[in-house]
Structure 1
Amino acid sequence: MNYRIKASSDYNIDGKIHIKQSHIVFDTTGKTAKTLPNPAEIFLGSLASCILKNVERFSLLMKFQYNYTKLEIRAKRLDNPPRMDSINYHLNIFSEDTKLNVDLLKKNIEKHGTIYNTLKQVCTINGKIIRI
């Protein structure tokens, strides 16, 4: 598989990521630091979308149903050189389906997630999945 995105910015105006028919605006100027995501948050958002896409994917393969999910990701950044050092995620899956095997789902997410596997090469990732 190959991927392609485009991005743009103008001087003193926030940046935009152009993916298919979506446009994601992000902070590049500092003027919108409290309202728009910064590059590190976009980066973590990529991991979040990877995890949640795999929940959906494996719900079909593992034949379980869920109502919705809530995911929180926290990361620790080091300064020299600037990089993510550790990432922790906490995923709640709201499901009454007894066929949901949380341990197997976690294993599959961590084995088959493209973004997950890319990140685990360069930093520590720990996660917890809870069925509620």
Structure 2
Amino acid sequence: MMLEYRVSARRIDSHGSEAEVKSAHLVLDTDMAGRDDAFNPAELLLASLAACLLKGAERVTPMLKFDLRGIEVSLHAVRQDSPPKMIRIDYEIVVDTDESDQRLDLLHRNLRKYGTISNTLAEATELVGTIRRKG
């Protein structure tokens, strides 16, 4: 079975645009000078990866019977200018848990293996990540 996704976006003015899906609206930073109150396209890509990892944790922790009190993801990307593209994305997953290092590694492997966005990005750029216990 193939899943399909649809999002629509439109230009509001020279300072920004808006994307819509379901009943959600997201302001997009499409201003050439940038803006502080919205995600630009590169930041949206990183946020998508973060959401993929976080949603993946919601999916796999019950299956693994993994004790998860909290999880955070930090990301950093490097973009080249010509041609413009992301050449590397680094992420760090910080998990609030008492699980062993082996179980943390198992969680990380599952997040990478079953993540739609992480799998897509790993085919297109260097995707490097770590996982550690909070503390």
User: Does the pair score TM above 0.5?
Assistant: yes
Partner SS, residue 9 of structure 1: strand
Deviant stretches of 4+, over 3 Å: 97-100
**Over aligned residue pairs, what C-alpha RMSD do you find?**
1.8
Alignment of 1:8-23 (within 5 A): 8-23=10-25
- Say whether residues 1:38 and 2:40 are aligned partners: yes
Query: How far has the Cα of 1:59 moved from its partner?
Result: 0.7
Distance 2:74 2:23 in 1: 26
- Counterpart CA distance in 2 for 1:61 and 1:28 is 40
Indicate yes or no: 2:82 matched with 1:80.
yes
**Superposed, which structure 2 residues align to 1:1-132 within 5 Å?**
1-30=3-32, 32-97=34-99, 101-132=103-134
Q: Which runs of 5+ in 2 are unaligned?
A: none
Q: Quick one: structure 1 residues 62 and 99, their matched pair in 2 at CA, closer, same or farther if it must change by over 3 Å?
A: farther
SS in structure 2 of the partner of residue 40 of structure 1: helix
Question: How much has 1:97 moved relative to structure 2?
Answer: 4.3
List runs of 5+ in structure 1 lacking aligned partners: none
Aligned length: 132
What secondary structure is seen at the aligned counterpart in 2 of 1:88?
Answer: strand
Please state whether the residue corresponding to 1:49 is helix, strand or coil: helix
The residue matched to 2:66 in structure 1 has which SS?
coil
**Per-residue deviation, 1:60:** 0.9
Same amino acid, percent of matched pairs: 34
Shift of 1:11: 2.9
Secondary structure in 2 aligned to 1:15? strand
Counterpart Cα distance in 1 of 2:102 and 2:19: 35
